[in-house]
Amino acid sequence: MHQILAKQSLSPNVTRLDVHAQRIAEIRQAGQFVIVHLNENSERIPLTIADSNPATGTITLVIQAVGKSTNELVALNAGEFIRDVAGPLGHPTEMITSGHALCIGGGVGTAVAHPIAQGLNKVGVRVTSVIGGRSKEWVIFENELKRYGNVIVCTDDGSYGRKGFVTDAVKEILAKEKVDIVYAVGPVPMMRAVANLTRGLGVHTIVSLNPVMIDGTGMCGGCRVSVGNETKFACVDGPEFDGHTVNFDELQDRLSTYREFEQRSVACARGTCRMEMPTTTPA
Ligand code: NAD
Ligand code: FES
């Protein structure tokens, strides 16, 4: 059992939980994730470790409440317990050790970009973070990222920072500064747009993929993605991949297929579901 030691609301549907998980806090590296199992009957939820504190034995999880299980998770309060937290899972982020890195976070993906910026800063890499949200209230982890370098904030509606998508700011930076590597985490259209910007410039670009995961061990196939015409499993081969070789169309397709299940399960949990669960299973 893992106790929740602190809870904080970061944006309208994003919550931060600091959870006791001593061993994971000691050994986790940037880019790694855990699979959380709230109770005996709940689904498994993959969550990137946004931060950790080995001294207090805590890991920071940032949860966007979109489905039944994530809504149940964010309903827990400090002092309550999560049944299982398995990890750290996945490959650590491929790091450079000198030069200039651009860390891009879109929406809740900014929490995933945080440990990458933290890890790069630790080894002496210059970090510029570009983070975005729909409006001011959706911008997260700005102050945390400021510890590691310059932070450029973008909002779609211009209510805070620059007006526009993160890609607008990224385009300008790439035009005037030498950038050795780009890390992008956020919605699939954002990661695809970043990869399209950097491809022609030959700037190595790493994206963190978020397909549906079930077992997290490479056995169920739920997190299958196509990268460079090869089939990969995000849980054991990723979750980070070369953004220039990811098949984003397929990823988007598979995510959309599951969305209907997610919406239906939230409605059923609220007692407002009037239809059968869809029977289509993703290809
Ligand atoms: P959002 O849709 O509000 O977008 C956040 C920001 O991303 C926008 O403000 C904008 O700057 C940028 N963006 C969005 N669409 C863009 C486009 N077409 N071109 C360029 N930039 C664009 O984000 P949200 O609601 O926080 O959603 C987060 C998404 O990220 C979810 O779909 C979630 O599944 C995904 N996610 C991904 C990871 C990961 O590891 N890749 C982790 C957590 C969440
Ligand atoms: Fe099952 Fe990756 S989650 S194969």
Q: Which of 91-105, 115-129, 212-226, 258-272 has the lowest mean pLDDT?
A: 258-272
Q: Are residues 201 and 258 in the same domain?
A: no
**Last residue of one domain, picked from the residues 89, 109, 140:** 89
**Whether residues 98 and 203 fall in one domain:** yes
> How high is the pLDDT of residue 39?
86
Q: Are residues 9 and 68 in the same domain?
A: yes
Model confidence at 5: pLDDT above 60: yes
Q: What's the whole-number average pLDDT of the chain?
A: 92
The encoded tokens of residue 215 equal: 């077992």
* Ligand 2, CB within 6 Å, residue ranges: 213-216, 218-223, 233, 235
Give the residue from 54, 89, 124 where a domain finishes. Answer: 89
**C-alpha 167 to ligand 1 mean position (Å):** 11
Question: Do 200 and 220 reside in the same domain of the chain?
Answer: no
Question: Are 166 and 224 part of one and the same domain?
Answer: no
Domain with 200, as residue range(s), is 93-208
Digit-coded pLDDT (tens) for 90-149: 999 999 999 999 999 999 999 999 999 999 999 999 999 999 999 999 999 999 999 999
CATH number of the domain enclosing 30: 2.40.30.10
Ligand number with the minimum distance to the CA of 235 = 2
- Same domain (yes/no): 202, 218: no
Last residue of a domain, one of 175, 208, 241: 208
What is residue 49's predicted lDDT score, i.e. its pLDDT?
Answer: 96
User: Does residue 30 share a domain with residue 104?
Assistant: no
69 confidence band (pLDDT: 50, 70, 90): confident
CA-233 nearest atom, ligand 2: 2
Statement: the pTM of the whole predicted model exceeds 0.75: yes
Residue of 202, 203, 255 whose CA lies nearest to 225: 255
Q: For the chain, how are helix, strand and coil distributed in percent, rounded to 5?
A: 30, 35, 35
**Res. 275: pLDDT tops 60:** no
42/100 same-domain check: no
DSSP-assigned letter for residue 94: P
Tell me if 277 sits within 8 A of 264, measured CB to CB.
Answer: yes
3-state secondary structure of 217: coil
Query: In this structure, are 134 and 217 located in the same domain?
Result: no
Same domain, 174 and 144: yes
Ligand nearest to the CA of 47: 1
pLDDT given at position 262: 62
Rounded to whole angstroms, the Cα distance separating 190 from 183 reads 12
Q: Is the peptide bond before 46 cis (omega within 30 degrees of 0)?
A: no
Domain count, the chain: 3
pLDDT at 269: 60
CB atoms within 10 A of CB 122: 11
Instruction: Name residues contacting ligand 1 (CB within 6 A).
Output: 106-109, 112, 132-134, 138, 154, 156, 165-167, 185-187, 189-190, 193, 208-210
